[in-house]
Amino acid sequence: MSYIVEVGAPAGLYVHDVPTGAVAVGIIRKDTGETGVLLRFRSGAYAQMNGNTVRRLDRREVLRAMQREIRKS
């Protein structure tokens, strides 16, 4: 699965309360079109959150997407 990440994008568009132990990094879009908040947990794990639903993401794929965003800048 491929992701598009926008670091620093407004997470408040998709979620109001970030889970304890997590930080909203920005917005993530999956190649399926699903969009949500990109969370990073203290453990280093990444997840996508929409409303109250949190889905774990492949860390390597998230980091690749972040690298692609950095190269575009």
The beta strands (E) that lie in 1-73 are given as 3-7, 22-30, 35-41, 46-50, 53-57
The token pair that represents 19 in the structure block: 């889970």
The pLDDT mean for the chain works out to 91
pLDDT digits (tens, 9 = 90+) for 8-27: 999 888 888 999 999 999 99
Report pLDDT for 73. 65
Asked if 15 and 51 touch (Cβ cutoff 8 Å), the reply is yes
Report pLDDT for 65. 94
Of 59 and 31, the one with more pLDDT: 59
